[in-house]
Structure 1
Amino acid sequence: MPFRIGLTRDFLDPDGKVGWGDIGLAALDEADGVAWDFIDVVSGDIPPEAVRGYDALIVLTPRVTEDTLKGADRLALVARFGVGYDNVDVETCTRHGVVVTITPDGVRVPVAVSALTLLLAAAHRLREKDALVRTGRWEDKLAYMGTGLTGRALGLVGWGNIGREVSRVCAPLGLRQLAADPFADRDAAEAAGVTLVELDTLLAEADFVVVTCALTPQTRHLLNASRLATMKPSAFLVNVARGPIVDQAALTEALTARRIAGAALDVFEVEPPDPADPLLALDNVLLTPHAVAWTDELALGNGRGAIQAALDVAAGRAPAHPVNPAALDHPLFLSRKASR
């Protein structure tokens, strides 16, 4: 019996082609004893009938819920294409002996570079300057001076996989680097020239605040109205993590009142945002559709990571980067792995 791998159909464009380009599917075609196809789910909850008979799922945006796993007797792995896994009920997967993996190696550089892209765009007021050219207001450019980086403070909310890479790519730019992360390695931070501080200190001192932490119950609305109020009036906020980490209504109010200089957001509390959301009407915020890091590099890196996790399980090996390592010792997972 082949090891069956199902990919959610939201990888495909309306013409039935992989919209991401090369995500490494050739490795599945070349693997012995493996069969794969796309399951007929593009959004919402993955129904249980869609996953029966599969040993592994590679998931983009559809949700894996408790109902998804009903009757999924063969399922051993949910491989998330990316690092966010808020669309996967990890606790339920662990109870059912299903390992959940992510692809940190695939996103590390592309997301860090996208954070720098948004930071530079906000600092140089790229959105407004583009509009000056398009609307025939060339001579107004003196009113749109940008903010230089040299000697300014970069504050990283979260100093994990992405935050550390943001530090690395920003190192040549002459920024003083701060990070707030209770789990950060202090020796590694010191070696990287990063000063670990409390979040409130970071927000008060940073000229550029970049959010890179994971969304958890503890980080939901971590940047609320009171914390946003501690930021400098000249400061910019960049979020490439998850929308609900920032209280979007409070941020909209702060931007509207010009209590901070601006923001650049790739993520939102509700995605996609309502077209009538007042945030979308502001001229001091740059917005991208949770896709600023979407490049050929990210697509292939994420694809290879998720596919390798599936191939590892198919070969009876433990996959890399599990978010619920306890599931690796679950009798159901061990029995499925042993049967390969």
Structure 2
Amino acid sequence: MSGLCLIRQPIHPAGLALLRAAGMRIAEEWRLTPEALAAAMAEAEAAILRDRGLPAAMLASMPRLRVAVVHGAGVDRIALPLARELGVAIAATPGENAISVAEQAFALLLALARRVPEGDRAVREGRWDWRDGPAGRELRGLRLGLVGWGEVARQVARIAGAGFGMQVAAFTRHGDPAELAAAGVAQAPDLDALLAASDVVSLHARPAGAPLIDARALALLPPGALLINTARGALVDEAALLAALDEGRLAGAGLDVCDPEPAEPDGPLVAHPGVLLSPHVGGMTEAARIRTAEAAARRALAILAGRPDGLIAGSAWPPRQVEAAG
């Protein structure tokens, strides 16, 4: 197999090795001049994306592109209608980084519940008596509400129930009630009911229009609730979140994602003491990076060879045909 694969953001070398072993050439976008990038876009038959997506203007400038594979699960930053119209197959690699993202959710949750950042600062500043102030919270017995029921949510539920003794419920429109019951997860009848009965809310959905967690949604949470978001920043109304923190209705927010990204260093989200941030690294452990990069490479190669692998719902199939590069 020959051809060019455009890599939009760095992936683990293990994935690149699979592509090269199959005869593919690699163009890494961040290493290219604007002129070289334009040439690569004109030639590439495959692309591997992370969270930068594939906007319409770029997609329209790639006349030979046959497949784009997401390094992860999120396809919200791809111009999907145009991809279908052009005959570009879209695949994703959901689940490959689920364990790592779930662990990041708990890293944020534990840090908030046990006030880890504040304790670290207190020790460094010589304030050992900080420990005599407001105490942290145990997770055992707290009510965890999952918004969504994908692979990450499943792993979060497993850790929460078996590892921390939390009471877990989920709101999902697509989950199998039998699967939820077998996992020890109660199924909430609607989002409002889930929010009203959750001490901790963890987001695992995809954006679809207006923010799911807005001022009305935040007002439903019990006083002192915690919000964790390792999914997409667009799920949360930032102004409403900051207002809920300022008013004391929300005790803290742990965010691995924001909208837009990167976060503004001087913005109100970064400045707020009730917000704990990480730079969208939930799925970026070494093990997860290897699994996801290799899965993305295998799926790109399979689709170029005419085998559907990991296609998202509604993807173009078969991909468009292009003349052999001459």
Give your verdict on TM over 0.5.
Answer: yes
* Alignment correspondent of 2:4: 4
1:204 aligns with 2:193: no
* Alignment correspondent of 2:207: 215
Three-state SS of the structure 1 residue aligned to 2:202 is strand
Q: Is the 8 A contact 1:41 1:62 kept in 2?
A: no
* Alignment correspondent of 2:172: 181
* Alignment correspondent of 1:66: 56
- Give the drift of 1:258: 1.1
- After TM superposition, list the pairs within 5 Å mapping 1:121-140 onto structure 2: 121-140=111-130
- Give the drift of 1:22: 3.8
Among 269, 277, 280, the alignment partner of 2:259 is 269
* Alignment correspondent of 1:297: 287
Per-residue CA deviation, residues 143-189 of structure 1 (Å, 9 max, x unaligned), is 13111111111100111121112112222111111101111111110
* Alignment correspondent of 1:163: 153
Measured at CA, do residues 200 and 98 of structure 1 come closer, stay the same or move farther in structure 2, by a change above 3 Å? same
* Alignment correspondent of 1:287: 277
- Give the drift of 1:324: 4.1
- Give the drift of 1:268: 1.2
* Alignment correspondent of 1:191: 182
Q: Is the 8 A contact 1:94 1:324 kept in 2?
A: no
Question: After the TM superposition, which of the residue ranges 64-73 and 52-61 deviates more from structure 2?
Answer: 64-73
Measured at CA, do residues 133 and 304 of structure 1 come closer, stay the same or move farther in structure 2, by a change above 3 Å? same
**Which consecutive unaligned segments of at least 5 residues does structure 1 have?**
12-19
Measured at CA, do residues 121 and 71 of structure 1 come closer, stay the same or move farther in structure 2, by a change above 3 Å? closer
Q: Is the 8 A contact 1:100 1:323 kept in 2?
A: yes
Amino acid at match of 1:239: N
Three-state SS of the structure 1 residue aligned to 2:312 is coil
Measured at CA, do residues 237 and 69 of structure 1 come closer, stay the same or move farther in structure 2, by a change above 3 Å? closer
- Give the drift of 1:21: 4.8
Q: Is the 8 A contact 1:6 1:36 kept in 2?
A: yes
* Alignment correspondent of 1:14: none
Please give the alpha-carbon distance, in whole angstroms, between the structure 2 residues aligned to 1:183 and 1:307: 29
Three-state SS of the structure 2 residue aligned to 1:25 is helix
Q: Is the 8 A contact 1:313 1:319 kept in 2?
A: yes
* Alignment correspondent of 1:24: 15
- Give the drift of 1:336: 5.6
1:328 aligns with 2:320: no
Measured at CA, do residues 51 and 221 of structure 1 come closer, stay the same or move farther in structure 2, by a change above 3 Å? same
Amino acid at match of 2:262: P
Amino acid at match of 2:7: L
Measured at CA, do residues 326 and 260 of structure 1 come closer, stay the same or move farther in structure 2, by a change above 3 Å? closer
Q: Is the 8 A contact 1:110 1:298 kept in 2?
A: yes
Per-residue CA deviation, residues 273-300 of structure 1 (Å, 9 max, x unaligned), is 2233223222222111112442101211
Q: Is the 8 A contact 1:55 1:76 kept in 2?
A: yes
Amino acid at match of 1:117: A
Amino acid at match of 2:157: S
Among 300, 308, 314, the alignment partner of 2:298 is 308
**Which consecutive unaligned segments of at least 5 residues does structure 2 have?**
none
Q: Is the 8 A contact 2:55 2:78 kept in 1?
A: yes
- Give the drift of 1:95: 0.9
Please give the alpha-carbon distance, in whole angstroms, between the structure 1 residues aligned to 2:178 and 2:252: 33
Measured at CA, do residues 98 and 211 of structure 1 come closer, stay the same or move farther in structure 2, by a change above 3 Å? same
Among 99, 105, 108, the alignment partner of 1:115 is 105
- Give the drift of 1:34: 2.8
Please give the alpha-carbon distance, in whole angstroms, between the structure 2 residues aligned to 1:290 and 1:114: 10
Three-state SS of the structure 1 residue aligned to 2:144 is strand
Count how many residue pairs are aligned between Structure 1 and Structure 2. 322
Provide the identity percentage.
Answer: 33
Question: After the TM superposition, which of the residue ranges 160-169 and 271-280 deviates more from structure 2?
Answer: 271-280
- After TM superposition, list the pairs within 5 Å mapping 1:67-82 onto structure 2: 67-70=57-60, 72-82=62-72
